[in-house]
Chain A
Amino acid sequence: MTTKSIMTSRLYTLKPTDTVADAITLMHLKRVHNLPVVDDKGIFIGLFGLRRLGHLMLPIAASSLGPHSISDLHFLPDDVVQMGDRWHEIADQPVVNFLEKKKKLMFCTPDTAFPELLAMLDQSKDSSLPVLIVEGESKKLVGMVSPWDVLEGLIMGRLIKAGGENYPTDENK
C-alpha cells in the first residue's frame, strides 16, 4: 500500500505567472484548498494554499518578521479596510511571489509507504501534500494527496482489499 494507490492524479494547477486573484478564483470554483504551481514541463515549483492567503492579508509586522512578528493583535480594531488594502496590493501579483519556502514544504513520492504518509499529513501545515517524482534537481508533479484521499481509500475498501492480499484468508487457502 503506497501513496500512488490513493493519490489524486487529475489535478488543477497554476502557472507561475498566474496572479493571486486567479488562484483564489480557481480555488473557489473547484473547492480546493491547495493548488500546486508547475512550469510548462510539469516540474513542480511550489504550493499556493488558502492558509497562505490568510497570512498575506495580515499586516506585515504581524506576518513577516519571523519569530518576532507581533503575535497578539488584540489591540487592533475590527477594521476590514486595511485587510482590503492589503488584498489590493497582492491580488495582481504572480503567485510565485508568495510560495511557501522550499525548505519548509513537505512532499511525498508515489512510493511513500502508508505509515510515513500518515505521519507527514499529521505534521504538515498544509492540508494536502504534493506527490513528486524526484529526478536529480527537478521534481515532477504527479499527484496530490490529502486526508480525504486517505479516507476515500478506506471507504472504497482498497485498504481492506490490500490487507486481504497480504494476509492469507480461508478462501485463499
Chain B
Amino acid sequence: MHGETEIAAQVIFGWSPLWVSSILFVATYAVIVSEKVNRAIVAGLGASLMVTLGVLNQQTAISGIDFNTLGLLAGMMVIVAITRESGVFQYVAVWSAKKAKASPWGILLMLSMVTAVFSAVLDNVTTVLLIAPVTLLICHELKINPYPFLFAEIFASNIGGTATLIGDPPNIMIGSAVGLSFNQFLLNLAPVTPFILAVTLGFIYFVWGRSMRATLEARQRIMSFREREAITDVRLLKQSLFVLALVISGFVLAHPLQLEPATIAMFGSALLLLLSNLNNGAEEQSERVHEIFGKIEWITIFFFIGLFIAVKGIEEAGVLKILADLVITYTGADLTVTAMVILWVSAIASAIVDNIPFVATMIPVIKSMAPTFGGAENLMPLWWALALGACLGGNGSLVGASANLIVAGFAERAGHRIRFLPFMLMAFPMMLFSIGISSLYIYFRYL
C-alpha cells in the first residue's frame, strides 16, 4: 500500500493535469455556490476525484490538509459546547440588557458589543446561536421589531471575528498556512475593528436607532429578569472559564512556547472534558463525551478536508501559479495595487460566495508571489488585506457568512423574515464602507 502511494501522480488517459484539475475545481466550486448539494459532500467528491483521476497521489493529497486549522476548529467547538451548558452566555446577554437600563438603543449597543467580543474569541456561528435567541426574547418583551438588533448582530459578529486569529475561519486558515501568531493578528487586525464597529453602529443609529421606543412597562419587565438564575451550573462555569482563560493565555504565549494554536485548543478541550467528567462513572462519561463530540460541526470539518485536497490539486498542477502570475501582471508587481486588489476582490467575492473556499484558494496564490515582492516577509500587507476582505466581506449579503444565515433562519421562525434584497441594499454599501476604512488602514500602516 505504501509503495503504491509513493509513485508520482499520473492523470488517467494521459490527460493534462492542468485541465483536469481546473475543470474539477471549477465544477466543485460551482456546485458549492449553487447550494443544491451539501457542501461537505461536494468538497469530499471533488477531493476524491482529484486523487482517483490521478491529479494527486494519496500522500500529496493528505499533505494538503491543514490539520492545524482542523484541530483549532474542533478543539474550540468542544470547549464552547461544554461552556454554553453553564448558561454563561445567556447571563451575559441579559446582564448587558439590564446594564443599558433596558432602553432599546442601549440594548442594541450592548448586545452588539457582546456579540463582537464573543465572536473575537469564539467562532461567529456559535456566538449568534447563543445571542440571537435572547435578542428575540428581549425584543418580544419590549414589543419592538428585532430587525435592527439582528442586523447589528450580524455585522458585529463578522467585525468581531476579524479581530483575532481564532475569530473567523479565514483567519485560522491564513494564520496556520503562513505561520502567523495569535498576537500578530491581535496587533495588526484588532486595532481597526472597534473603529469599523463604531461606524457601523453609527449607521444603524441613523437609520433605526433614533426612532426606537419602548414603553416604561415593557422596559420594567426586562429589568425584572433575574440574570443570576441563568447560570445553571456554577461548578461547570468555573471550570469552563478557567479552561478558556488558560487557552487564550496559551494562544498569546504560543510563539515563545513554540506551540501551534491547534495543540492549545486540543489540550483545552481535553482538559475541560476531563474536569467536567470528574464525578461521572464510566458509562455516564462515554455518554457525555459522545454527546459533546456530536456537537462538533462535522460538516464544516469535512468541508475543510475536501477543500484543502481540492486546492492542493490545482496547486500541484500549477494552476495557482498561473493565477498568481496573472494577478502580478495586471497589478504591475506593485505591492500597493496588489494589496488593494486583494482587499476589494476578497470583500466582494466573500459577500457573494462562502469565504472559506475563496481564502483556501488565495493562500497558495499569495504565497507564490513571494519572489516577486522580495521574500515572504514582504507579503504581510497582502495577508492582512486578505483577512480583512474575506472576513468583513461576509457582511455584504445574507449568504456572505454562515452566521448571517443562522440569524435569518431564527428571524423567519420568529415571524420577522429578513429578506435577501432589502438586507443587501443596506448591508452591501455598509460593507463597502468598512472596506474603505480598511483600505486607508492598510495603506497608511503598511504601504
What is the interface of chain A, defined by CB distance below 8 A to chain B?
Answer: 59-62, 64-66, 68-70, 72, 74-77, 79, 81-82
Contacting pair B221 A74 (CB below 8 A)? no
Q: Size class of B's contact patch? A: 20 to 34
A60 CA to B143 CA, complexed, in Å: 12
Q: A82 touches which one: B141, B226, B410, B413 (CB < 8 A)?
A: B141
In the assembled complex, B400 has its CB within 8 A of some CB on chain A: no
Contacting pair A68 B133 (CB below 8 A)? yes
Contacting pair A61 B129 (CB below 8 A)? no
A130 CA to B334 CA, complexed, in Å: 73
Q: A72 touches which one: B129, B228, B230 (CB < 8 A)?
A: B230
A-facing residues in B114-155 (Cβ within 8 Å): 129, 133-134, 136-137, 140-141
In the assembled complex, B224 has its CB within 8 A of some CB on chain A: yes
Q: B414 touches which one: A60, A74, A76 (CB < 8 A)?
A: A60
A contact face: mostly helix, strand, loop, or mixed: loop
Q: B137 touches which one: A66, A68, A70, A77 (CB < 8 A)?
A: A70
In the assembled complex, B15 has its CB within 8 A of some CB on chain A: no
In the assembled complex, B374 has its CB within 8 A of some CB on chain A: no
Query: Please, which residues of chain B bring their CB within 8 A of the CB of A66?
Result: 413
Query: Please, which residues of chain A bring their CB within 8 A of the CB of B136?
Result: 60-61, 65
A-facing residues in B390-447 (Cβ within 8 Å): 410, 413-415
Query: Please, which residues of chain A bring their CB within 8 A of the CB of B91?
Result: 75
B contact face: mostly helix, strand, loop, or mixed: helix
Tally inter-chain residue pairs, CB-CB below 8 A.
62
Q: B410 touches which one: A68, A72, A74, A79 (CB < 8 A)?
A: A68
In the assembled complex, B87 has its CB within 8 A of some CB on chain A: yes
In the assembled complex, B232 has its CB within 8 A of some CB on chain A: yes
Contacting pair B133 A77 (CB below 8 A)? no
Contacting pair B229 A75 (CB below 8 A)? yes
Contacting pair A70 B140 (CB below 8 A)? no
Contacting pair A60 B415 (CB below 8 A)? yes
Q: Known contacts being A59-B137, A61-B133, A65-B136, is A82 close to B227, with CB within 8 Å?
A: no
Contacting pair A75 B230 (CB below 8 A)? yes
A-facing residues in B138-190 (Cβ within 8 Å): 140-141
Contacting pair B226 A77 (CB below 8 A)? yes
Closest 9 CB pairs of A and B: A61-B137, A74-B229, A75-B230, A61-B136, A77-B224, A75-B229, A61-B133, A60-B414, A64-B413
Contacting pair B90 A75 (CB below 8 A)? yes
Shortest CB-to-CB span from A55 to chain B, Å, is: 13
Query: Please, which residues of chain B bring their CB within 8 A of the CB of A79?
Result: 221, 224
Binary flags per residue of B42-71, CB closer than 8 Å to A gives 1, else 0: 000000000000000000000000000000
Q: Known contacts being A60-B136, A61-B140, A82-B141, is A74 close to B226, with CB within 8 Å?
A: yes
Contacting pair A74 B230 (CB below 8 A)? yes
A68 CA to B127 CA, complexed, in Å: 12
In the assembled complex, B204 has its CB within 8 A of some CB on chain A: no
In the assembled complex, B307 has its CB within 8 A of some CB on chain A: no
In the assembled complex, B94 has its CB within 8 A of some CB on chain A: yes
- 21 A-B pairs, CB-CB below 8 angstroms? A59-B140, A60-B136, A60-B137, A60-B140, A60-B414, A60-B415, A61-B137, A61-B140, A65-B136, A65-B410, A65-B413, A70-B90, A70-B134, A74-B226, A75-B225, A75-B230, A76-B225, A77-B221, A79-B221, A82-B140, A82-B221
Q: Which residue of A lies closest to B221 (CB)?
A: A79
Shortest CB-to-CB span from A103 to chain B, Å, is: 16
Q: Which residue of B lies closest to A64 (CB)?
A: B413
A144 CA to B91 CA, complexed, in Å: 45
Binary flags per residue of B377-389, CB closer than 8 Å to A gives 1, else 0: 0000000000000
A-facing residues in B54-101 (Cβ within 8 Å): 87, 90-91, 94
Q: A75 touches which one: B133, B227, B413 (CB < 8 A)?
A: B227
A64 CA to B129 CA, complexed, in Å: 14
Shortest CB-to-CB span from B52 to chain A, Å, is: 37
Query: Please, which residues of chain B bring their CB within 8 A of the CB of A82?
Result: 140-141, 221
Contacting pair B87 A72 (CB below 8 A)? yes
Query: Please, which residues of chain A bring their CB within 8 A of the CB of B87?
Result: 72, 74
Shortest CB-to-CB span from A32 to chain B, Å, is: 30
Shortest CB-to-CB span from B168 to chain A, Å, is: 21
Query: Please, which residues of chain A bring their CB within 8 A of the CB of B229?
Result: 74-75
Query: Please, which residues of chain A bring their CB within 8 A of the CB of B225?
Result: 75-77
Query: Please, which residues of chain B bring their CB within 8 A of the CB of A64?
Result: 413-414
A65 CA to B406 CA, complexed, in Å: 10
Contacting pair A72 B137 (CB below 8 A)? no
Contacting pair A62 B226 (CB below 8 A)? no
Q: Known contacts being A59-B137, A75-B90, A79-B224, is A65 close to B230, with CB within 8 Å?
A: no
Shortest CB-to-CB span from A93 to chain B, Å, is: 12
Shortest CB-to-CB span from A82 to chain B, Å, is: 7
A65 CA to B413 CA, complexed, in Å: 6
Query: Please, which residues of chain B bring their CB within 8 A of the CB of A81?
Result: 221
A-facing residues in B277-324 (Cβ within 8 Å): none
Shortest CB-to-CB span from A64 to chain B, Å, is: 5
Contacting pair B94 A75 (CB below 8 A)? yes
Query: Please, which residues of chain B bring their CB within 8 A of the CB of A60?
Result: 136-137, 140, 413-415
Query: Please, which residues of chain A bring their CB within 8 A of the CB of B90?
Result: 70, 72, 75
